[in-house]
A and B are shown apart, each in its own frame.
Chain A
Amino acid sequence: MSVEVRLPTLLRPHVGGQSVVTADGATVGEVLSDLVARFPGLQGQLVTEAGDLHRFVNVYVNDDDVRYMDKLDTKVGEGDTVSILPAVAGGA
């Protein structure tokens, strides 16, 4: 299964400056693993050593935040778009 993955500005240097790449997998976790295998600079940027989604990124399948779905087990299908954005937070 091949899906389109949209990357934030911050991660584009790790994928040759592209904003959109394609990756293979049947779940979000498989798609991210495929990305890291092809672009090793992404290692540690998306998934923690414990195998969880990194808290500094938000990942979406189409319009839906995967944290409110099945996280890395969220299924993806042909034609889906996976978007990655930085998690934006701070405080006083």
Chain B
Amino acid sequence: MLRLTSDAYRRLIGHCYDGLPLEACGLLGGHPAAASALVCYPARNVAGSARVYTVDPGDHLRADRDAESRGMEIIGVFHSHTHTEAYPSPTDVRQAPDPGWHYVIVSLRDVPSLRSFRIVDGNIEEEPVVVAG
């Protein structure tokens, strides 16, 4: 299960819309043991594409430091799918860097749809998402 604060949820969805027509991306800071994401870190998509994303390395470093200064860690990444469902693509699976992370995907194809996945050794497992607090 992934817990998202309502503030992080709003910022995440807002950043995905702001990125249109391109894919948007960002990182989630929180507490890994509780699987709770308390902070949304919007990042630039340096791929500048509607089909792929690369988190700006400088934005990642700043997010990592900020999370650490708050006693948190980066526990996951989010990105938007502008025209497809919120499910990991083969590219998402191949490039998933950390089996401990939560992989959040927001589809903007219809009404926004947010789903979260764990990706371990190429296997995709969806997890429930709770927005609260």
Residues of A within 8 A of B (CB): 8-10, 56, 58, 60, 63, 65, 67, 83, 85-92
A43–B92 Cα distance when bound, in Å, is: 25
Q: Which residue of A lies closest to B107 (CB)?
A: A92
How many residue pairs link A and B with beta carbons under 8 A? The number is 75
B53→A89 contact, CB < 8 A: yes
Residues of B within 8 A of A (CB): 23, 25, 27, 32, 47, 49-55, 57-58, 60-61, 64, 73, 77, 79, 81-84, 88-89, 91-92, 95-98, 100
A-B contact pairs, 9 of them (CB 8 A): A56-B97, A83-B61, A90-B52, A90-B79, A91-B92, A91-B95, A92-B23, A92-B82, A92-B84
A56–B54 Cα distance when bound, in Å, is: 11
Given the complex, which residues of B lie within 8 Å of A67, measured CB to CB? 57
A9-B51 in contact given A90-B96, A91-B91 (Cβ < 8 Å): no
Partner of A87, one of B54, B58, B92: B54
Q: Which residue of A lies closest to B88 (CB)?
A: A90
Partner of A86, one of B49, B51, B81, B98: B98
A63-B61 in contact given A10-B97, A90-B92 (Cβ < 8 Å): yes
A60→B51 contact, CB < 8 A: no
A10–B84 Cα distance when bound, in Å, is: 30
A88–B96 Cα distance when bound, in Å, is: 7
Given the complex, which residues of B lie within 8 Å of A91, measured CB to CB? 23, 49, 51-53, 89, 91-92, 95
Partner of A60, one of B32, B52, B61: B61
Partner of A89, one of B54, B83, B100: B54
A90-B83 in contact given A85-B60, A85-B61 (Cβ < 8 Å): no
Given the complex, which residues of A lie within 8 Å of B95, measured CB to CB? 88-91
